[in-house]
Structure 1
């Protein structure tokens, strides 16, 4: 589990096709890897990956075909910046919201516009995900926990403050960019419970 509070920004050091999958190496000099062991989880742009190699401020992870099909990781290139977060520990503060690192789908940046000192971003998501996104609810975009300001069909808007822009890779994005979307876990569980109750009736 993760919180959606980005701990560092890293860079893709290498991408290597392996048996139809992809192995990525990430330069993570600004992320404290001292307490990370082989097999631990690290979220890369919101995607939970397993560290299979560690050393010299870098980690490597294998990315399955399923993950490549459901996320933007397959679109990355060497040198691209990525949001990084280590897995949540039970004693940690939950500053964002509970994020699983299991991306639900890919959305698009529709627009970015100034709004006082922050920026108002609008995203579009696949129809199947739109019903899980609610005004004042939570959503993770490229691993960043965000509060939804408004919803209009498949589109939703958020405000990003200067701190978030500095501490994440949002500054690298513009209209047309594709982003990883994870909807709020609570929305999915609520739907499942409702379906079960409706089935009983």
Structure 2
């Protein structure tokens, strides 16, 4: 698990195809790797990767086909900047929110403009994720824990302060940039829980939660 508070920005220095998937090397002189061991997890632009080698100035990780298919990682080239965060410990301050490092989908930056000293970003999420994104709720964008400032269908807005612009890869975003999205884990589990016994059926996972379902189960009064 992670908090979504970025510790350092690293860069991709090698991306080697390996048996149908990928072997990735990430370099960072700013991330303290002194307490990292082989098998530990590091969120890399929001993707939980397992450390398989520690060359001293970064780490190597293996990337599965599943990860390549459901994240922006297939687009990564040598030289790309990436957000980095080590897995949290029992004594870590939870400054963001609970983040699993399991990307739910890929979004696209629609617009970016100044808002006083901050900057306002509008991002379009995949339609199937829209129900998990709430005004003033939390969302993870490329591993960064952020607050949703507005929601319009599958699009949402973020107000990013100067510190976050400077210390994460968000400062590089332009319209058209694709980003890894992870919705609030509580929302995902709550939806599954509300399905009740239907969750065990083949069709249960496809039903989702709507007004009719909530009314039928006593959570909504017409």
Partner of residue 53, structure 1: 53
Report 1:80-91 matches (<5 A). 80-91=80-91
Report 1:1-201 matches (<5 A). 1-196=1-196
What's the CA shift string for 1:46-75, capped at 9, x where partnerless? 000000000221100000000000000110
Q: Which has the higher helix share?
A: 2
Instruction: Give the distance between the partners of 2:196 and 2:33, measured in 1 at CA.
Output: 42
Cα shift at 1:196? 1.1
Count of residue correspondences: 201
The 3-state SS of whatever aligns with 1:68 is helix
Task: Give runs of ≥4 in structure 1 deviating > 3 Å.
Answer: 197-201
Which consecutive unaligned segments of at least 5 residues does structure 1 have? none
Which consecutive unaligned segments of at least 5 residues does structure 2 have? 200-215, 218-222
Q: TM-score, normalised by structure 2?
A: 0.88
CA RMSD of aligned residues (A): 1.3
Cα shift at 1:194? 1.3
Instruction: Give the distance between the partners of 2:197 and 2:58, measured in 1 at CA.
Output: 48
Bigger Cα Rg: 2
